[in-house]
C-alpha cells in the first residue's frame, strides 16, 4: 500500500512547532483525534534509537492503547523519521515557510485493518488538534 501524506500550515515559528510536537507536557494536550479521547501520558526520548510512548484512551475508559515507536532519524526543527512496532514507517517534516509560518507534513504507512480514508481522517484530526493547540497557547 502506498504511504498516506497529510499536511497543515501553522502560523507559528518552526521552533515552537517543534517543541510543542515533541515535548510530553504538550503532547498530552493535543494528541487525540476526537474530544471523547485523551492522551493522559507521554514519554519521548527524541534521538536516533530513542523511543516514544503515548497513551491513547477513550475518556469513558471503553478502549485504550499505547502508540509507540523508535526514532530512525532526528534533524532538529526539520525532520523526524520513526517506525512503529509493526514496522510501519512515519516521516514528519517541519517546513519553515517564513519566520512565523510552518508547514507540518506527515507521511505514514497505512495499516491494513482500516480504510485509507479512515486513517487519513484520523491522523489529520490529530494534526488539526495540534494546529489549534499550538496557535492558541
Kind plus residue range of the DSSP H or E element containing 8: strand 4-10
pTM over 0.85: yes
Q: What is the pLDDT of residue 67?
A: 96
Q: What is the pLDDT of residue 1?
A: 84
Rounded to an integer, what distance in angstroms lies between the CA atom of residue 15 and that of residue 10? 12
The domain tally of the chain equals 1
Closest CA to 42 of 16, 23, 14, 20: 23
The domain of 43 spans 4-136
Q: What is the pLDDT of residue 79?
A: 98
Q: What tens-digit pLDDT sequence spans the chain (137 residues)?
A: 899 999 999 999 999 999 999 999 999 999 999 999 999 999 999 999 999 999 999 999 999 999 999 999 999 999 999 999 999 999 999 999 999 999 999 999 999 999 999 999 999 999 999 999 999 99
Amino acid at each position: 500500500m502506498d504511504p498516506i501524506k497529510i499536511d497543515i500550515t501553522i502560523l507559528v515559528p518552526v521552533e515552537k512547532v517543534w517543541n510543542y510536537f515533541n515535548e510530553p507536557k504538550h503532547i498530552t494536550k493535543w494528541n487525540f483525534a476526537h474530544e471523547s479521547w485523551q492522551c493522559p501520558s507521554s514519554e519521548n526520548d527524541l534521538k536516533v534509537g530513542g523511543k516514544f510512548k503515548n497513551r491513547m484512551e477513550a475518556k469513558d475508559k471503553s478502549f485504550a492503547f499505547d502508540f509507540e515507536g523508535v526514532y530512525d532519524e532526528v534533524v532538529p526543527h526539520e525532520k523526524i523519521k520513526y517506525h512503529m512496532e509493526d514496522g510501519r514507517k512515519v516521516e514528519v517534516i517541519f517546513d519553515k515557510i517564513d519566520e512565523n509560518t510552518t508547514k507540518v507534513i506527515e507521511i505514514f504507512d497505512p495499516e491494513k485493518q482500516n480504510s485509507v480514508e479512515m486513517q487519513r481522517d484520523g491522523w489529520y484530526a490529530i494534526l488539526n488538534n495540534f494546529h489549534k493547540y499550538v496557535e492558541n497557547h
